[in-house]
Structure 1
Amino acid sequence: MLSYQHIYHAGNLADVHKHSLLAWMLDYLTAKDKPVSYIETHGGRALYDLTAEEALKTGEAAQGINRVKHWFAPDHPYIKSLRQTTEQAGENAYPGSPLIATQRLRDTDTITIAELHPREHNALELALPSATCRQVDGFDMAHSMLPPTPRRGLMLIDPSFEVKDDYGTIPAHIRKYARAWNVGIIMLWYPILTSSAHANMLKTLAKDHPDALRHEVRFPPARPGHGMVGSGLFIIRPPFGLAAEAAKLKTRFDALN
């Protein structure tokens, strides 16, 4: 399915959850003088204008990053990426996860992003000339390149879940990824919906990867009738200190409810 465009949701509370912990992990990885591979299966356009018609239509950024930016210290890696983005692209710009990755990583690291939507892929290539951006199915791309070189690194799996089969097929993909890349951090984002569509997927993932970190936050719907009421991350081989960072973030989200 090629209808999903993240501009309608950029900067929402789920992005705050996902992007702040992603930025923290990337800074953790780059603290060592060893190269890193970063892989993303569903990249989007990487750079978003929060005053675009699509973003204003949903108002999710107003309920998201524009409301909670004060949660983070000025030296938090997420805030550093937000600041770098606005300095380079204007005060209403917001970085997607591929752009955060290029900002937090180094010239010695490798970045490979998949995005199947033609318009989003074109925008992705324009935003990230230094990254490898492929217009391919992200799940297939990951299978084809694991284990990567360098072997140390992180993969973000961030599908739209508009393809309902994703809930059923993702555990099998991740089972193979974790086996093929036995030192990599594998991070799955999923929406928490009023329908609990994610529940069976999480049961399978938890059974397959009992040592993984499952972190969920809840928040009020962005608008009446909106089905997403939370954000989840399932992280295989979480780096040291991530659980504490995630727990601190959860106290902020809990205060919203």
Structure 2
Amino acid sequence: MLSYQHIYHAGNLADVHKHALLAWMLRYLTAKDKPLTYIETHAGRAVYDLQDEYALKTGEAAQGIARLEGKFADHPYGETLQQTKAENGETAYPGSPMIAAQLLRATDKIHLAELHPAEHAALDFAMSPYPVTCHLTDGFGMAHSLIPPTPRRGMMLIDPSYEIKTDYETIPRDIRKYARAWNVGIIALWYPILTNFAHSDMIKTLSDDHPDALRHEVRFDPARPGHGMVGSGMFILNPPYGADAEAKRITNIYKDL
């Protein structure tokens, strides 16, 4: 949906959850001296200014990364936070494309899709120092065209806005096809946990289709009165060894909020 811009939500508690798990998995993958492919279907602009008026308007970053950054000091996620600040200023926050670009290597392939023209232009600019391919296209379609990728080893992050309500119905079908074509790929889906439980049927279908996947959720208070998101979920096919332990560690961090 072309109206969505992530700046309103950058650095919130859902971002911290998603990005911490993403960074951990990427660090795990790069421990082996073998090239890999990273695919992201809904990339956004890659770098966000948390002092931007739109970020300040919601106050979500103040409740998210501002409170939890210290918990990730010795973590690959924390490394990307510091590198992004060093390169872009103290109020800069890395989106998932920047986290991937910083943690991956020159031998790895990175494909990023973003359909919003202004967000794509910002993404292309932010990624210009890195060996990355930015696609101005629908991310689900891009993924279908690339899978199975070369190199075949790697992972994909699916992180839609869910403003297109049919995503909840179509995503399980897309993931079923991705998994069939790329049975060795790590396929990670982020989803919001809302007060209306819009995700429930989608997750039930995914769990039935992929019983060995890792499902990890964290809960938190609404960002403001009337805000519908009360948690964050990740559904991961072919999770790397140790991902369940890392997920439990993150759960303990959120319990202390």
Query: Unpaired runs of 5+ in structure 2?
Result: none
**Distance in 2 (alpha carbons) for counterparts of 1:254 and 1:91:** 27
**Distance in 2 (alpha carbons) for counterparts of 1:186 and 1:53:** 34
**Distance in 2 (alpha carbons) for counterparts of 1:71 and 1:28:** 19
What are the within-5 Å matches in structure 2 for residues 1-257 of structure 1?
A: 1-72=1-72, 74-129=73-128, 130-256=131-257
Q: Deviations over 1:50-77 (max 9, x none)?
A: 00010000000000000111212x3310
Amino acid at match of 2:164: V
**Distance in 2 (alpha carbons) for counterparts of 1:98 and 1:248:** 24
Task: Give SS of 1:33's match.
Answer: coil
Amino acid at match of 1:243: D
**Distance in 2 (alpha carbons) for counterparts of 1:106 and 1:71:** 26
Task: Give SS of 2:198's match.
Answer: coil
Task: Give SS of 1:35's match.
Answer: coil
Query: Unpaired runs of 5+ in structure 1?
Result: none
Identity of aligned residues (%): 70
**Distance in 2 (alpha carbons) for counterparts of 1:38 and 1:69:** 25
Superposed CA RMSD in Å reads: 0.6
**Distance in 2 (alpha carbons) for counterparts of 1:194 and 1:75:** 33
How far 1:88 sits from its partner (Å)? Answer: 0.4
Amino acid at match of 1:67: R
Q: What is the count of residue pairs matched by the alignment?
A: 255
Q: Deviations over 1:109-151 (max 9, x none)?
A: 0000000000000000000023100010000000011000000
How far 1:255 sits from its partner (Å)? Answer: 2.3
**Distance in 1 (alpha carbons) for counterparts of 2:206 and 2:110:** 26
Task: Give SS of 2:24's match.
Answer: helix
**Distance in 2 (alpha carbons) for counterparts of 1:67 and 1:32:** 33
How far 1:3 sits from its partner (Å)? Answer: 0.4
**Distance in 1 (alpha carbons) for counterparts of 2:221 and 2:69:** 17
Task: Give SS of 2:176's match.
Answer: helix
Amino acid at match of 1:142: A
Amino acid at match of 2:75: H
Task: Give SS of 1:247's match.
Answer: helix
